[in-house]
Structure 1
Amino acid sequence: MDHSVSLNFSQLSQEHITKLKDAFQMIDADGDGIISKTDLQEMLASMGKQNSDEVIEQMLSSKGSSTDGLNFPEFLSLMSGLSGEFPEEDELKQCLRNLADEQGSLNVPLDDLLQSLKDAGFANPEEKFAKIFKTFGSTQKTTSTKIFKGESFLATISDS
């Protein structure tokens, strides 16, 4: 690993590293400690992205000489270099607020979120985002309405 990548890694906060570890474990579907080509394909498909083998190979080759996949330190280095490319927390909050109730809660009806994802062009978001919905979903006991816990989701992925 070269020093420029290490420098990016050293600038991550401990909280950000913890969140990236959670993300790593979510992407590492088989739990073997390595994000493989298959793991990346499944993760990208769950986000509605269909990338070619060439793009995935490029992602894996950007981390160094190993061909087995990304281990956690390599994942941290890669993600630290990409961190400026993700939507800001305020953008995500605004998207969830568009679905919020009158009180402005970021916990939104799952059916509304699914319809918005379909309207945005995601085919079959129930399957593509199943892991996220399982982790950040709940059912209201009084109404049996399924809810996406947007506030918990944002707390998990944000630095604040």
Structure 2
Amino acid sequence: MEKSQSVTFSQFTQNQIQKLKDAFQYIDEDGDGVISQKDLRKILSDLSKQSDEMQLQEMIGTEKEGITFPEFVSIMGERIESLPEETELIEALKTFSKENEEMMIKVDELETYLASAGFKDKKELDKVLQHFVTKQVSGGQVFKGKKFLETIGE
């Protein structure tokens, strides 16, 4: 990997490493311990995502046959490090929530807040939110912030 600062196993909890291992094994379709272009093509197809050979080669790296588990951990670690801290998410949800304990936010309000922050793809947003939204008796929908945090946490 060409990163000057690599992510190591010691930066993850056992639970996180197990989740990464499960994800790696799921993507490694043929079980050979390497995520190949063929493995990526299959998982992307299963997710209804189109990809060409050039994109797959870019994902793997131009001079490699595939991604090993340690490389996968490093790649995912870099992605995880770029995510906001849980405390930041909690504070943001509490700011927008009228009822802080469950951190519930009206979906239309949340969509407005996220759109103003740069999240413009409503279709993608709806895909993510659908798992954390409940309908109210009044007919409106509410995003369940606490459930969201529990799901993305360990």
Flag whether TM exceeds 0.5 (same fold).
Answer: yes
Q: Does 1:155 align with 2:154?
A: no
- What's 1:17 paired with? 17
Letter in 1 for 2:138: T
After the TM superposition, which residues 1-160 of structure 1 pair with which residues of structure 2 at under 5 Å, given as runs?
8-17=8-17, 20=20, 24=23, 34-35=39-40, 39=44, 57=58, 60-61=60-61, 65-66=64-65, 74-125=71-122, 127-140=123-136, 142-159=137-154
- Give 3-state SS (helix, strand or coil) of 1:138's partner: strand
* 8 Å CA contact retained: 1:136, 1:148: yes
> Normalized against structure 1, the TM-score is what?
0.59
- Give 3-state SS (helix, strand or coil) of 1:114's partner: helix
- What's 1:47 paired with? none
RMSD: 3.9
Which segments of structure 1 move beyond 3 Å, counting only runs of 4 or more? 17-22, 32-36, 70-75, 102-105
* 8 Å CA contact retained: 1:110, 1:148: yes
**Shift, 1:148, TM fit:** 1.4
> Normalized against structure 2, the TM-score is what?
0.61
Letter in 2 for 1:120: A
- Structure showing greater Rg: 2
Gaps of 5+ in 1: 43-52
**Shift, 1:21, TM fit:** 6.7
Letter in 2 for 1:17: I
* 8 Å CA contact retained: 2:102, 2:144: no
Counterparts of 1:61 and 1:145 in 2: how far apart (Å)?
46
Letter in 2 for 1:157: I
1:27-50 deviation line (CA, Å, top 9, x unaligned): x7xxx68455x95xx9xxxxxxxx
- What's 2:51 paired with? none
For CA contacts below 8 A with separation 6 or more, give which structure has more relative contact order. 1
Counterparts of 2:143 and 2:96 in 1: how far apart (Å)?
11
Gaps of 5+ in 2: 30-34, 48-53
What is the number of equivalent residue pairs in this alignment? 132
- Give 3-state SS (helix, strand or coil) of 1:129's partner: helix
